[in-house]
Amino acid sequence: MEVLARLGVETVVASPGSRSTPLTLAAVRNTRLEALSILDERSAAFYALGLAKRTHRPVALVCTSGSALANYWPAVVEASLSGTPLLLLTADRPPELRQCSSGQTIDQLKFYGDYVRGFYEIALPEADCDMLAYLRQTLVHAVSQSLAPHAGPVHLNFPFRDPLVPDEASGAEVISAAEMASAATVLTRTCESVLSMGRVDHVALERLCSHPRGIIVVGSENPMAGDESFADAVTMIAHKLGWPVLADVLNPLRQHAGENPALVAHYDAFLRDAALAESLKPTVILQIGSLPTSKVLRAWLAGLDAVSFLSTTRPVNTDPLHRVATPLYGDAHTLAEQIQHQQHAPDWVDTWAAAEKATVNRLDACMDSMDTLFEGKVAWLLAQHLPVGASVFLASSMSVRYAEYFWSAGNRAYSIFSNRGANGIDGTLSTSLGVAHRGKPAVLLTGDLAFLHDSNGLLAATQLAGSLTIVLVNNAGGGIFEHLPIAKMEPPFEQYFATPQTVDFAGLCAAHGIGHQSIQDWASLIDAVNQLPCEGVRVLEIRTNRKADKEQLQQLLRVMC
């Protein structure tokens, strides 16, 4: 654990278990590490995931042998697909107790398959300096693999024989403190500097810059360089090329609108206007990161006869539309520095800006006059009234989609997070707790099903050093299914798709010692989120009508376009 601390790891999240005793004790006894204890391995993994998403540092997880590590699976998948560094330290039985019906024993070798960046089966521990040096160097490589250029989870499997607790009563010192310190010495760069960014191909760059009518599309992006720095780099690219920037809510751009007059946030609405969409067709598309959430935008892009370029910091395919596209490996800063100022089409950006402004004006007028509790207005209000610099976690399903529709651009410097690697609702609550841990006051926007799917995460609230406000939209079921053709089929729809639950959220919160407030009107919500508490967890429950929400959304989108 000392080696991990010297490599920049700050937090270890452990779940109780016998076989992992040596790992847990090592973490607890190291004063340079913060050791958290979370009962449920699934919640523990997502908690670590959220913390790693915010800090861009690897967080270590410790669990016992057997099915315990299987509970890490959903978080490992999300970490892999979203490029989030995790270290999975799983305890195991020694080789002689494997494949012989020994209790709490499964095959843990390469358990996570290709979803981890690396797997290491650690040798059985020996009190020997050479073995410590081997362990040190293995940990150095594991941390490096978890970071860059292709960040993600790394699995280290530790077999242990009994006894699992050190015999300190004997007073025997097998290895001296000086020898231990020497074995733990790490001569390597710090975690923040382990980066390898390529340079953009100049021929590809010339082709990119030869088009006066292009667009920049930025999807889910959690840049290691920092939100403001990333936003500045994309703004520079847009300024040099003279192109508009279509920014998903899941990247820093909408929260750092700054000096970028070409920032477009409401493309999903006005691209529904066929005539306007036709007039806005570009000849080239620069996609940075993954594609945005919007299905309307994706359908429009798929129908374009345009040259495409894919800019990414990771060696992954970011184009589900399967266009003829040129990859540009490197970060936004590299691209911004190498692009030269180009001649602009006179009215190209102005046309996009006018469409955006008109849409915002219509949206704001509709929202201002709306008194009924509508799920989409929650996101619209949060964008305006949360404290500057707050962290925001958006649950999958309708929460992130409403934010995509209605979260307008501004300069309030929110940091936006979401589990959109695999797009699942797994671990929503636990991940948001991790985002909030030792960070700025955080807000989770979630529906009732995503919250209940991870309600066991409430057990982890006792470990939180920080503040999380949960804005819970309770519409008695899965609102996203209302937008699918299956919604017209009854009786199976309600029971098997919408799946309304009957949980008393106030009672659930009371059972965990968490504050609960029922929000009855918009003024109460604004008052509750204008200032966020410094510590603890609270739930703000807003009840809406699922079917009315669907009708209201469709009406708003018609008005906006």
Determine the pLDDT at residue 458: 97
The tens digit of pLDDT for each residue in 507-543 reads 999 999 999 999 999 999 999 999 999 999 999 999 9
Indicate whether 193 pLDDT > 70: no
Q: What is the 3-state secondary structure (H, E, C) of 451-472?
A: HHHCHHHHHHHHHCCCEEEEEE
Indicate whether 145 pLDDT > 50: yes
Same domain, 183 and 207: no
Least confident of 97-106, 127-136, 167-176, 198-207: 167-176
Are 55 and 26 spatial neighbours (Cβ–Cβ below 8 Å)? no
218 pLDDT band, cuts 50/70/90, is very high
Same domain, 160 and 124: yes
The tens digit of pLDDT for each residue in 246-283 reads 999 999 999 999 888 889 999 999 999 999 999 999 99
Alpha carbons 328 and 199: distance in angstroms, whole number = 8
Residue where a domain terminates, one of 354, 383, 417: 354
Count of CB atoms within 10 A of residue 527's CB?
A: 12
Amino acid at residue number 526 = I
Residue 500 main-chain phi, psi, to 5 deg? -65, 140
Number of domains in the chain: 3
- DSSP notation for 390-446: -EEEE-TTHHHHHHHHH----SS-PEEE---SS---TTHHHHHHHHHTTSS-EEEEE
Asked if residue 230 is part of any domain, the answer here is: yes
Indicate whether 187 pLDDT > 70: no
Closest CA to 430 of 181, 117, 75: 75
Residue 97 C-alpha from the chain's centroid: 38
Q: What is the mean pLDDT of the chain?
A: 92
Asked if residue 361 is part of any domain, the answer here is: no
Indicate whether 198 pLDDT > 60: no
Asked if residue 359 is part of any domain, the answer here is: no
Indicate whether 39 pLDDT > 90: yes
The tens digit of pLDDT for each residue in 22-33 reads 999 999 999 999
Identify the H or E element spanning 91: strand 86-92
Percent of the chain with pLDDT over 90: 81
- DSSP notation for 232-277: HHHHHHHHHHT--EEE-TTSGGGG--TT-TTEE--HHHHTTSHHHH
Asked if residue 452 is part of any domain, the answer here is: yes
Placement of tokens 């599309």 in the chain: 217
Are 135 and 3 spatial neighbours (Cβ–Cβ below 8 Å)? yes
The tens digit of pLDDT for each residue in 114-135 reads 999 999 999 999 888 889 999 9
Same domain, 213 and 183: no
Same domain, 431 and 341: no
Determine the pLDDT at residue 192: 44
183 pLDDT band, cuts 50/70/90, is low
Residue 542 main-chain phi, psi, to 5 deg? -120, 120
Asked if residue 14 is part of any domain, the answer here is: yes
Same domain, 497 and 538: yes
More confident residue, 190 or 352: 352
Are 225 and 256 spatial neighbours (Cβ–Cβ below 8 Å)? no
Are 466 and 442 spatial neighbours (Cβ–Cβ below 8 Å)? yes
Residue 74's CATH number? 3.40.50.970
The tens digit of pLDDT for each residue in 316-330 reads 899 999 998 999 988
Same domain, 350 and 389: no
Same domain, 221 and 335: yes
Same domain, 158 and 182: yes
Same domain, 58 and 133: yes
The pTM assigned to this predicted structure is 0.94
Indicate whether 480 pLDDT > 60: yes
Q: What is the mean pLDDT of residues 325-346?
A: 89
Asked if residue 365 is part of any domain, the answer here is: no
Same domain, 12 and 123: yes
Which residues constitute the domain of residue 273?
202-354
Same domain, 341 and 448: no
Indicate whether 169 pLDDT > 90: no
- DSSP for residue 498: I
Asked if residue 107 is part of any domain, the answer here is: yes
Alpha carbons 49 and 32: distance in angstroms, whole number = 20
The tens digit of pLDDT for each residue in 412-450 reads 999 999 999 999 999 999 999 999 999 999 999 999 999
Residue where a domain terminates, one of 354, 389, 417: 354
Q: What is the mean pLDDT of residues 75-81?
A: 97
Asked if residue 382 is part of any domain, the answer here is: yes
Same domain, 40 and 156: yes
Long-range contacts for 320-326 (Cβ within 8 Å, ≥24 apart)?
320/291, 321/291, 325/287, 326/204, 326/207, 326/208
Residue 238's CATH number? 3.40.50.1220
Strand order in the sheet with 442-447: 415-417, 391-394, 442-447, 467-474, 536-543, 515-519
